[in-house]
Structure 1
Amino acid sequence: MLKHTAFILSLALLLCNFALGQSKYIYRVDGSKTTASHIDKTITRLMDTANVTGLGISIFNNNEVVYQKAFGYSNAVNKTPLSANTIFYGASLSKAVFAVLVMQLVEEGVIEWDTPLQSYLEKPLSEYGYTKKNTKSWNGYLDLKGDKRYEKITARMCLTHTTGFPNWRFLTSTGYKKDGKLYFQFEPGARYSYSGEGFALLQFVIEQITGKGLEELAQERIFKPLGMCRTSYIYVWQPGQEKQYVYGHDSKENVIPKDEVDDAGAAGSMGTTLADYSKFLEAVLNQQLLKQESYKELFKKQVAISSKQQFGPNSLVETTENEDIALGYGLGWGVLETPYGKGVFKEGGSEGYKHYSILFPETGTGVLIMTNSDNAESIFKELLEITIGDTYTPWQWENYVPYEHKTQQKQ
């Protein structure tokens, strides 16, 4: 009986994936159309040319998935096929989920966008050490003693990357910081500079306010209501989950060993699947989970972005290159303007994993790309153009340099 049930479930998943890849036409943001077979051939060609190990993709029309398919391998050594239901390290896709969760708490009056986070704490932030398991490389907020600029930080600053913190205390715009001490790069609220530390701070404060951990909050508010049964901020990292885990691969397609993470992190510990995260994006397109006005605030341009690139030394260089798309940041999501309305995007990247999602709410169009290869970003530009006609994603700012450009640069 159990074997029969398992067979039925496997068949159902297979038919579901087949159906999602067989819509007669797939419409792009500009109204032009393509076909599933053309997309299949294009992805296969791009992956082969750029040596991308595995790639999963969902395309959205009319606020729902019309194409969903996985290509390549979850483990290149074992030749384990990638599927829509194997678990990726989601990296910073975690932040988009957290932003929706925070907005729910704002709707309920648990926290306010522009109230200093210090006012929610029982003692000065600089007196909180890190009491969880991973204490070797993180000293809580003791490093801020003597610098009271932390008293200005709000939830809005955290989600718009304007806290003044670096991305991580051990990682600056120009490289690694040996002492690993938390510090301010600039005055809170002064400018955009991508910061996982800001998300970590807001998570810490919310956990203090609610008395609940991030994993519990996310499960009860987002993952379970949407049926994201294979998504978690901690589950995939536990021992014994290797069989359902998508391994990252470096530029030479070597398998990167699986990390073990003890704590849920809003900035980037989420494990999820192509199918599960597509459910989340469908909910966003259909304005579920939040009130309509809340989505307007979430995707409103809160801060303009004028840096040449998002990361690295060029993140400190000013440019006007992206003024034509009015590049900026909302609350946890990047925002840009197009002739077809606003585009809202969130990327995710770590060693061996490169992901990107962009939605165009006014047309109900979007795409989610999840990969387990350091080479994958080199095909994002062409993939976005062919699948949904997205010529607006600032690929140079994202450093999504096409593989043929990289080849030319080496010659």
Structure 2
Amino acid sequence: MQSSRVPASRRRFLSVPHPSVLLLAVFLAGCASSNRPDLGSRNLHDTLTVLAERHHVCAVAVAVIKNRQLASIDTATACLPAATLAPDSVFQAASLSKPVFAYAVLKLVAQGKLDLDAPVMTYLPQGYRHQRDLLRAEPSDPVSDPRLAAITVRMVLNHTSGLPNWTSGTLRVGTVPGTTWDYSGEGYVLLQRAVEAVTGLPLDQFMSAQVFQPLAMNHSDYAWNERVAKHLLPGTKANGAPREAMTLTNPNAAFSLLTSAADYGKFMVALLADDALLKQVTALPVAVDPALGLSWGLGWGIERGQDDSAIWQWGNNTGYRAFAIASVRSGDGFVMLTNSENGLELAQPLAEKILPGQHTLFQSPILGTDVLNILCNRLHICL
């Protein structure tokens, strides 16, 4: 649940520090040391342990994929008392929800139940109501912007709908649909309502039938329930202190997935092994940052190198961070789930270790400047 600058989850649920404090935090970020521990000779478990301790990450779980097969699952913890970790430990996956939902949407397209280039409103003849609060069904209001009718299924999946990431006010289309890449969680909720209308099922039940049950993802759900809650790790701040996280009782296609590293690894294996679907995901990407070779496909960011491309997505919910990446050519990759607001600090060193080579995505402002983390890590002001 993120934006291209300060994460939306943080803006929505926490007060923002005074502007002078923000400027100081950004200055400190620019002055921060780039020194990293030497991880080249360490195995994955030791690497995870070093990184978790360095960044105060209480729990991290990583599923590694090699040649389109789930190769290993490893975990580490750096808080006392140590978290009890297992391959089926559950985390909030945040925006890693989006690629799984996109996968299910493409399955519906293959079944002839949706058309990628049909307007989403085709499937919502009664109109669309916008939730003003992400965690509650009400209050809501009907969206009257006529440009909503021009948004297609494809535009939602590749973030060219023109809708904002999130808004608690009146929902309006900001740019002409189909013309500009602009990351949007609101778009995914719009498409969620169309999927629910077409299938006659609420999102959590649809995703269970379409994805989780077929792939034996037994510790995954788009809504909080007792089955997954008993394996759910509590979220933490950047310093390892407990964070009162959101209880995701209302399913949301953009950010409410609860899952384990083992389960998400199964999903990535299924996608990477489906050549036709993977080509569909990556075939017609829209430009995001051409200088860095970054574009966006159907549900995934795409990082293009000289002889390969990678699909990727990051996640940012209150108390949790997540990251997933995979090579289209080799079928190698990994998913990382953490219960820490420092969790994304582990993404780049893990990517460099598991998928050697330059990853330009980490130079992109898409990942944002996490001001509250900077305050906590540099000034020890942990809000």
1:366-385 superposed matches below 5 A: 366-385=333-352
Measured after TM superposition, the shift of residue 301 of structure 1 is 3.8
> Paired residue for 1:7?
none
Distance between the aligned counterparts of 2:47 and 2:131, measured in 1? 48
> Paired residue for 2:72?
67
CA contact (8 A) 1:71 1:83 kept: no
> Paired residue for 1:256?
243
> Paired residue for 1:204?
193
1:36-75 superposed matches below 5 A: 38-72=43-77
- AA aligned to 2:262 is A
Task: Provide Cα deviations, 1:33-55, integer angstroms capped at 9, x if missing partner.
Answer: x88x5222222222222222211
> Paired residue for 1:90?
93
Question: Is the aligned partner of 1:105 residue 2:94?
Answer: no
| Residue 204 of structure 2, aligned match among 203, 206, 215 | 215
> Paired residue for 1:153?
151
Task: Provide Cα deviations, 1:221-278, integer angstroms capped at 9, x if missing partner.
Answer: 11011111111111xx236865421111111211123432332111111100011111
Aligned CA distance change for structure 1 residues 123 and 93 (closer, same or farther; 3 Å): same
Question: Is the aligned partner of 1:361 residue 2:361?
Answer: no
Q: How many residues align?
A: 334
Matched residue of 1:385: which SS? helix
| Residue 391 of structure 1, aligned match among 358, 365, 369 | 358
Structure 1 segments of 4+ aligned residues over 3 angstroms from their partners: 128-133, 238-243, 398-402
1:162-311 superposed matches below 5 A: 162-170=160-168, 180-234=169-223, 237-238=224-225, 242-287=229-274, 292-306=275-289
Measured after TM superposition, the shift of residue 169 of structure 1 is 1.2
- AA aligned to 1:256 is R
Q: Say what the alpha-carbon RMSD is for the aligned residues.
A: 2.7
User: Normalised by the size of structure 2, how large is the TM-score?
Assistant: 0.80
Distance between the aligned counterparts of 1:41 and 1:50, measured in 2? 14
Measured after TM superposition, the shift of residue 130 of structure 1 is 6.0
- Whichever of the two has the greater Rg, that structure is 1
User: Normalised by the size of structure 1, how large is the TM-score?
Assistant: 0.75
Question: Is the aligned partner of 1:134 residue 2:129?
Answer: no
Which range moved further: 86-95 or 37-46?
37-46
Residue ranges of structure 1 left out of the alignment (5+ in a row): 1-33, 171-179, 307-319
Distance between the aligned counterparts of 1:70 and 1:363, measured in 2? 24
Aligned CA distance change for structure 1 residues 114 and 242 (closer, same or farther; 3 Å): closer
Aligned CA distance change for structure 1 residues 266 and 133 (closer, same or farther; 3 Å): closer
Matched residue of 2:77: which SS? strand
CA contact (8 A) 2:303 2:361 kept: no
